[in-house]
Amino acid sequence: MWKYFIRPLFFLFDPELVHNFLIKWTKLFGGTGLPDMRFTSPLIEKKVFGINFPNPVGLAAGFDKNAEIVTSIRRLGGFGFTEIGTVTPRPQSGNPKKRIFRLTKDDALINRLGFNNDGVDAVVNRLKNKNFKYYNTSLPIGANIGKNKSTPNSKAHEDYLECFKKLRSYVDYFAVNVSSPNTPELRNLQSTSFLKKILKTLILENNKGKKKPILVKVSPDLSNSQLSDIVSLLLQLNIDGIISSNTTIARENLKSDNLKNEIGGLSGKPLSKRSTEMVRLIKKQAGDKLPIIAVGGIMSPKDVVEKINAGASLVQIYTGWIYYGPTLVYDINRKLLKECLNN
Ligand SMILES: Cc1cc2nc3c(=O)[nH]c(=O)nc-3n(C[C@H](O)[C@H](O)[C@H](O)COP(=O)(O)O)c2cc1C
pLDDT in tens, 118-135: 999 999 999 987 755 444
pLDDT at 137 over 80: no
Task: Give the end-to-end CA distance of the chain in Å, rounded to a whole number.
Answer: 33
175-206 pLDDT tens trace: 999 999 999 999 999 999 999 999 999 999 99
pLDDT at 109 over 70: yes
Does the beta carbon of 199 sit less than 6 angstroms from any atom of ligand 1? no
Task: Identify the residue with better confidence: 78 or 212.
Answer: 212
- Dihedral angle, C-alpha 124, 129, 135, 140, nearest 10 °: 20
Q: Over pLDDT 90: what percentage of the chain?
A: 83
**By alpha-carbon position, which residue is closest to atom 12 of ligand 1?**
61
| Cβ pair 78, 301 in contact under 8 A | no
CA triplet 197, 200, 202: central angle to 5 degrees? 110
pTM above 0.85, yes or no: yes
Does the beta carbon of 282 sit less than 6 angstroms from any atom of ligand 1? no
Scored b (16 or more CB within 10 A) or e, 148-162 reads bbebebeebbebbbb
Total structural domains in the chain? Answer: 1
- DSSP label at 59? E
- Give the CA diameter of the chain: 53
Per the annotation, the verdict on 72 as an active-site residue is no
Tell me if residue 313 falls in helix, strand or coil.
coil
- Round to whole Å and give the CA distance between 95 and 248: 18
- Round to whole Å and give the CA distance between 184 and 179: 11
Substitution candidate for ligand 1 out of 82, 247, 263, 295 with most atoms within 8 A of CB: 247
285 CA distance to ligand 1 middle (Å): 25
Does the beta carbon of 214 sit less than 6 angstroms from any atom of ligand 1? no
Paired sense of beta strands 265-268 and 108-111, if any: antiparallel
- Round to whole Å and give the CA distance between 336 and 342: 10
317 CA distance to ligand 1 middle (Å): 8
Closest residue by Cα to residue 71 from 129, 22, 147:
129
Which pLDDT score is estimated for 116?
Answer: 98
- DSSP label at 96? P
65 - beta bridge partners? none
Does the beta carbon of 180 sit less than 6 angstroms from any atom of ligand 1? yes
**What H or E segment, with its residue span, contains residue 188?**
none
Other beta carbons within 10 Å of 208:
9
- Round to whole Å and give the CA distance between 271 and 240: 24
286-337 pLDDT tens trace: 999 999 999 999 999 999 999 999 999 999 999 999 999 888 999 999 999 9
Atom of ligand 1 nearest to the CA of 117: 8
Q: What is the CATH number of the domain that holds 63?
A: 3.20.20.70
Which pLDDT score is estimated for 136?
Answer: 42
- Round to whole Å and give the CA distance between 342 and 337: 9
| Cβ pair 259, 101 in contact under 8 A | yes
Q: Which domain holds residue 41?
A: 2-342
Range in 4-8, 55-59, 87-91, 271-275 with the lowest mean pLDDT = 4-8
Peptide bond before residue 138 is cis, with ω within 30 degrees of 0: no
